Amino acid sequence: MREARERLMAQKSEEVTVITKKIEPRVTLVSACRLTVDEERFSGLAGWTYNIQNTEIRELTFEIPRNTMITLVEGPGIYDWKVTDAGSDAKGAQGERELKVMFKNPMRGILSIKTGFETEIFNMKAPVKAPFIRPHGADEYKGYLAID
């Protein structure tokens, strides 16, 4: 046994090449929204489940319609949230607004947040568009909508 160990130690060591592949950052998102319609307004509650891989996120941004009011933002590690104007287009028309959600610390892994919103319906006799909140920054996005 000792001889075998000595022979093994006497052999030259060979170089080993390790090939690594860079793993790209990836953010996937699945949302589920329940939209309730009554005579005066749309009320919605949306759940957003992010899977943040190989990166960290300090802020989430959503595009919201002009006449939509955000009533709730909940989730782990949220420091603050605010709604800002996204600006105007070349024709001077007011564009969409943005909801920015800021976190105390960088977030990674699975992250779930909820947003509540309301949109007033001004004319029930005319066709109306359901309010749609668009997330920014996801590599892949799936959304589900239930109308109540």
How far apart (Å, rounded) are the C-alpha atoms in residues 75 and 77? 6
DSSP characters for 33-90? Answer: EEEEE-SSEEEEEEEEEEEEEEEEEEEEEEEE-TTEEEEEEE-TTEEEEEEEE--B-T
Render pLDDT for 36-92 as a digit per residue (tens, 0 to 9): 988 788 899 999 999 999 999 999 999 999 889 999 999 999 999 999 986 655 444
The pLDDT value given to residue 92: 41
The pLDDT value given to residue 147: 87
Render pLDDT for 6-28 as a digit per residue (tens, 0 to 9): 665 666 566 767 777 777 888 99
The pLDDT value given to residue 69: 93
Mean pLDDT over the full length of the chain: 85
Strands 68-74 and 134-135, sheet pairing: unpaired
**Under a CB-based contact definition with an 8 Å cutoff, are residues 99 and 81 in contact?**
yes
- DSSP secondary structure code for residue 94 in this structure: B
3-state helix, strand, coil in the chain (%, to 5): 5, 60, 35
The pLDDT value given to residue 94: 56
How far apart (Å, rounded) are the C-alpha atoms in residues 24 and 53? 8
